[in-house]
Structure 1
Amino acid sequence: MARIYEKEINVNNYSKEVLLDYYKTMVTIREFDLNLIRLIQEGKVSGFYHSGIGSEALSAGSIRQNLTDEDYIYYNHRGCNQKISKGVPLSKLYGDFMGTLEGTTKGLGAGIVHSADPSRGVLGQAGTIGSQLGIGVGTAFSSKFTGTDQVTVIYFGDGAASREPLHGSLNWAGLYKLPVVYICENNEYAISAHVSETHSIKEHIADWAEGYGIPNCVVDGNNVLLMHEAVNEAVERARRGEGPTFIEAQTFRHRGHFEGDPYDYINPDVLKDWKENRDPIKNFKALLLANNIFTENEIAAVNEQVNSEILEAINKAEAGGLPNPQRIYEGLFA
């Protein structure tokens, strides 16, 4: 059975600079999300959006201080959390959603974005749910073949974990001891289907990795420092050439599967508990204040800075302008 990752974390073992980075990253992710929802409501974004509010610690903790620009990530359905944590400029992401030339796709985005930023190791996502599980094995194999210490991190949800691509990927990674870290963002629901309805394993999704001889664990994905520690061990293991690790990070989304989803299949008391008692940003802020690492004024200053950066990014994205019709032919091969 999967190991429950439990470790006593002393916040004072982290520098103030690192703790600030975690807090600011999580706040940036949330404010990006809230402002994007506002832009959707204002009619400035077309198509669907899958909000990642409630899971900020999972991405910030796993990526910040653990991965470099040379390391690869494949983001999941709520991938803006991961792209922001990896350092993709906010204006580029907003530009993609608005379909402007500022975006990483230079006007080919809008709505659900399948964008990429190779300069930061963000290699995108294919259109089929779970397809990144196979593609990620390819980049991990390339790292091993060329002898670099690059690590591939693959993010996917509990829904994607119920599909066949996971098993082929795990088998290949385990067989060749590839430098890949699997991070299953288990928010309990694949659209509206609860995880108990989509997996024959009734304990933990991480149990799937046992059959492939892959070390695995289950971690509280809403604890940013615990998330950092679990992924750090996996990343360092991969860099040493010791093979893959499977991490099931438990979290919960605060909003529906997509903007417009009434989210009426969730017990209101359960959602209230996650929002009030298990919110990753609220709890991390309380931890920082309780240990006198930051003052209320310092926290307020960070929040103000983030809000300013968000608005600046939106303005830059809007100013990018829409592409001309010929843009659709750029990069087209037939």
Structure 2
Amino acid sequence: MAEIYQKEIKLSDYRKEDLIKFYREMVKIRKFDEHLIRLMHEGKVSGFYHSGIGSESVSVGSITNILRDEDYIFYNHRGCNQKIAKGVPLSKIYGDFLGTVEGTTRGLGAGIVHSADPSRGVLGQCGTIGSQFNIVVGTAYSAKLRGTDQVSVCYFGDGAASREPLHGSLNWAGLYKLPVVYICENNGYAISSTFEETHSVREHLADWAWGYGIPSCVVDGNDVLLMQEVVKEAVERAKLGEGPTFIEAQTFRHRGHFEGDAYDYVDKAVLNDWKENRDPIKSFKKKLLENQYCTENDLLNVDEEVEYEIHAAIKVAENAPLPEPNRIFEGLYA
């Protein structure tokens, strides 16, 4: 069955610039999120938003310095985290939410499940939760047929994992040894239902992969360096033709399922513990400072630089025009 992934990691195993990069990327994702929520409160964003605050390390640890532009990702319900880590410009993502032509869809998208950036391997997803399970075997099978070393990474939550398409996808990927890395961002809740209420498996979701002959493990998703190590190993396996890997990254969301969700179904003491003691950014910052890899001033400068970058991106997105009315007929062939 699935093993608990543990590995002794020394900061000295990484270059200082990479450690700072991990911190910067996590801060960028969180600040993006906080400012998008602000724009929603200002009435500038239509539709729902599903915040990824609290799980930034899952995306940064699994993408930064590992995946290339030619590697594919299918993001999950809180996928802005993954899109930012994959390199999609902030102005493009803000443009999608603001509905301006700066967005990846040039004004046709409406946020999270309607944006993509094929130039960076971000292939989006369909509106139905779990639909990426079906698509990822297609891109992975294509890479295998073409003889490339491209890897397809499929992100999903524990809620999406309860849908049947996961099992068909695992069976196909396991049967043909496809270059897929499944990353389950298990934050314990499917909307307001707990993991125990929605899954028959009692221990770990990763146990399911064992039944399809797929190596699997459970990892602390809030440890960015553990995520780096486990995903690097999985990607290397995929590139060598050794098939898929299933990674269950345990984390927790700091906000409700969607903006406006009262989030009163979570015990306040539990939520506070995750925020104060298991926050991925706070934990990594503490580790960097305690090991004297940087100073408070160094990290403050990073925070300020990212804040400036965020404001500049919002300005670009806001100043871009809305699409012309005739754009609605693009892609219409009937």
Matching residue of 1:73:
73
Matching residue of 2:28:
28
Counterpart-to-counterpart distance in 1, 2:296 and 2:323? 44
Larger deviation: 23-32 or 106-115?
106-115
Matching residue of 1:250:
250
Matching residue of 1:43:
43
1:168 and 2:168 aligned? yes
User: Does the 8 A contact of 1:210 with 1:216 survive in 2?
Assistant: yes
Measured against aligned partners, the alpha-carbon deviations of 1:72-100 in whole angstroms (never above 9, x if no partner) come to 00000000000000000000000000000
Counterpart-to-counterpart distance in 1, 2:127 and 2:55? 22
Following superposition, the deviation at residue 176 of structure 1 comes to 0.1
Counterpart-to-counterpart distance in 1, 2:113 and 2:166? 22
RMSD: 0.7
Q: Match for 2:300: what amino acid?
A: A
Measured against aligned partners, the alpha-carbon deviations of 1:202-221 in whole angstroms (never above 9, x if no partner) come to 00000000100000000000
Q: Match for 1:71: what amino acid?
A: D
TM-score normalized with structure 2 length: 0.99
> Number of paired residues?
334
Matching residue of 2:177:
177
TM-score normalized with structure 1 length: 0.99
Q: Match of 1:246, SS?
A: strand
Q: Match for 1:58: what amino acid?
A: V
Q: Match for 1:213: what amino acid?
A: G
Counterpart-to-counterpart distance in 2, 1:154 and 1:111? 19
Alignment of 1:109-124 (within 5 A): 109-124=109-124
* Identity within the alignment, %: 73
Counterpart-to-counterpart distance in 1, 2:114 and 2:221? 24
Larger deviation: 182-191 or 105-114?
105-114
- In structure 1, the gaps of 5 or more residues are none
Alignment of 1:294-305 (within 5 A): 294-305=294-305
Counterpart-to-counterpart distance in 2, 1:333 and 1:266? 47
Matching residue of 1:60:
60
Q: Match for 2:138: what amino acid?
A: G
Matching residue of 1:225:
225
User: Does the 8 A contact of 1:98 with 1:109 survive in 2?
Assistant: no
User: Does the 8 A contact of 2:77 with 2:113 survive in 1?
Assistant: no
User: Does the 8 A contact of 1:90 with 1:310 survive in 2?
Assistant: yes
Following superposition, the deviation at residue 111 of structure 1 comes to 4.3
Counterpart-to-counterpart distance in 1, 2:47 and 2:112? 6
Measured against aligned partners, the alpha-carbon deviations of 1:222-279 in whole angstroms (never above 9, x if no partner) come to 0000001000000000000000000000000000000000000000000000000000
Matching residue of 2:282:
282
User: Does the 8 A contact of 1:97 with 1:113 survive in 2?
Assistant: no
Following superposition, the deviation at residue 329 of structure 1 comes to 1.0
User: Does the 8 A contact of 1:149 with 1:239 survive in 2?
Assistant: yes
Alignment of 1:1-334 (within 5 A): 1-334=1-334
Counterpart-to-counterpart distance in 1, 2:114 and 2:10? 38
Counterpart-to-counterpart distance in 1, 2:216 and 2:113? 30
Following superposition, the deviation at residue 166 of structure 1 comes to 0.3
Counterpart-to-counterpart distance in 1, 2:40 and 2:80? 15
- In structure 2, the gaps of 5 or more residues are none
Counterpart-to-counterpart distance in 2, 1:287 and 1:315? 34
Measured against aligned partners, the alpha-carbon deviations of 1:129-180 in whole angstroms (never above 9, x if no partner) come to 1010110000000000000000000000001101100000000000000000
Q: Match of 1:205, SS?
A: coil
